[in-house]
Chain A
Amino acid sequence: MVLNEAAQRLGVSLRQTEDQLMRDMLQSTATFVNAVGGSDGDNPTEISRTDIDFVVRTLRGNNAYSFITGIEGENRFGCAPVRDAYFGLGHTDLIGQLDNINGFIQKWNYPNQQSTLDAEWGSVANLRFLLSSVGSVTPSASAMGANVYNIFCCGRESFAAVEQDGYSAQFIYRPPIYDGPLALNASVGYKFAEVPRILNDQWLLNLRCTLA
């Protein structure tokens, strides 16, 4: 039972570590654009509809494939159809900022919940936002010294994690006998080797913004 629980926790840790490495690679290497359509007086500004339109226009102009198909409208109160979309991967601190954008559709306003994702917060135009507590933040990087939030707006197959043969994630358990003569402590851990990599730089944009 204890081992099962440890395995579950380590599984979360493993996947979050993979996310953090991917995040750091995208933050280092991707093309970035500053949000300039907001009104908070900083540079970059808070995210706005014009910034999202610019990103979607750029990705579509570069023939980036969208990740998922749209969600067809249904005859229900308070819902709206959702377009086929790219993903915007961001930090949970953006909650509230996104809600204020012109045209924002909350996830629960989608016509049906079949194709929504756990991390999804909502959509604007052709961009669906997935938020995480380990999303990317560049500290003190705005003109006024505020934290800058990086939203990785990506098309399908714009980046990938390359796994080495025979070295994908391994869960390792060593019983207490390996600890010492008295066999007091077991050890549990994981290891993996993979390389995050941008496959097509024109299908990915880092939209940088501050909080209003």
Chain B
Amino acid sequence: MSTPIHAQVAGTFSTSATLAPVAISIPSGYNDIELINLTDIMAVTNTPAAIVKAFGNSSMPNHSAITLSGTGAGYGLNTAANITSGFSFVPDSGNQTPGAATAAGTGITAATPAVITSASTAGVGDIMRVYSTTGMLQIAGWDFTNTTAAGATQTITNLPAGGGVGELAFAAPATSVIARIIPFNPRYYPVTRRITNIGLGVTTTILMNVTHQFTVGQLVRLKIPAQYGTIQLNGLTGTITAIGTALTGSTNTITLNINSVGMTAFTFPTSAVAALGVDVPEVVPVGEAATAPYANFLDDATTNVSATGVLIDTGMLVASKNYSWIARKGQSI
């Protein structure tokens, strides 16, 4: 028992035109939070009804809040308990423990993009760990970013498993799959990512399994095991010259200053080969170029990006508004 020196901390933020969840980093031990929509709190023509004030407590379930909202000329505040969208107190955003395993899904399509059918509740941007992918063991144990809203299916835009030009042409779909949500990125940036496709040419474009977060000017090393085709690139380092070049339907790419003209096309081993145990292709961050035209931004610095704090769901927020928040903790007696 001790008296907290800072019993209350506060801050402000503005939402962008495209809503995204807001993460507020606060020290551990705070168990109450209050959110105020500064733009709308006194508006009498607040249509449609916007949440203007919300309360959360660490003992409430994640994604829940008590909210106040009002609308119209006869403006009055209405109280509601919201259990699907709200505050989530996060004790450690470096936590990599997968979410609960749901029942096995019916599979993954061998198409571009690959689509999972499962009971996973993953939403847009969530990282999913997939395993027990019967018939498509090439990707069993891999993490992927989901690119569709929560529903019966999850789309892996970063896996061009179809048979089109430059795609991976997987021989068969998976007939079973378990997909579990990985709640956060790893504790340290930058992160080693796995390669899901390579575009060959005067420069080399690399597609990765999870949203990569690399920046232009960083230096990476490629690891390409023998089963993945483009072994000529194995061990080479390259400087990232562009981000987001489209490759087989995805822009989760980096472009490297490596001339790969004439190299063997990238491919995945068959499911049968993967069942015997295979290594995986990777992009390993090793530093930065720090030469013209890339300034020495130290973007490659090893950084602990984990935090304690509160996540605010988009359902609590309105685009392009100003918000303030107050978090509190008290002395237990």
Contacts and interface: CB of A to CB of B under 8 A. Distances in A.
B279 A33 contact: yes
A44 B2 contact: no
A31 B141 contact: no
Interface residues of A, number: 39
Interface in A150-201: 179-180, 184-185, 187, 195-198, 201
A179 B101 contact: no
A180 B186 contact: no
Given A24-B186, A25-B188, A31-B223, A144 B131 contact: yes
Contacts of A30: 192, 284
10 contacts: A24-B188, A25-B302, A28-B190, A36-B279, A37-B277, A43-B275, A141-B141, A143-B131, A148-B141, A185-B2
Nearest to B191: A28
B137 A43 contact: yes
A28 B274 contact: no
Interface of B: 1-3, 94, 96-98, 101, 129, 131-133, 137, 140-141, 178, 180, 186-192, 221, 223, 274-280, 282, 284-286, 302, 304
A145 B2 contact: no
B128 to A, nearest CB: 11
Nearest to B221: A201
A43 B94 contact: no
Contacts of A148: 141
Given A139-B96, A179-B3, A32 B282 contact: yes
A43 B186 contact: no
B140 A195 contact: no
Contacts of A138: 96
6 tightest Cβ-Cβ pairs between the two chains A and B: A143-B140, A36-B277, A28-B186, A28-B188, A24-B187, A145-B131
A34 B280 CA distance: 7
A58 to B, nearest CB: 10
A16 to B, nearest CB: 15
Contacts of B178: 145
A24 B302 CA distance: 11
A184 B2 CA distance: 9
Main SS of the interface on chain B?
loop
Contact of B186 (A27, A38, A140): A27
Contacts of A24: 94, 186-188
A13 interface: no
A34 B188 contact: no
Nearest to B143: A141
Interface in A1-48: 21, 24-25, 27-38, 41-45
A142 interface: yes
B268 to A, nearest CB: 13
Contacts of B286: 198, 201
Given A43-B141, A142-B131, A201 B284 contact: yes
Given A34-B280, A198-B302, A43 B274 contact: yes
B284 to A, nearest CB: 5
A28 B285 CA distance: 10
Contacts of B285: 29
Given A141-B129, A145-B131, A28 B192 contact: yes
Nearest to A184: B1
A212 to B, nearest CB: 13
Nearest to A141: B141
B277 A197 contact: no
Nearest to A41: B275
Contacts of B189: 28
B2 A179 contact: yes
Given A141-B129, A145-B178, A185-B1, A43 B140 contact: yes
Contacts of B187: 21, 24-25, 28
B192 A143 contact: no
Contacts of B190: 28-29
Contacts of B131: 140-145
A184 B285 CA distance: 51
A184 B1 CA distance: 9
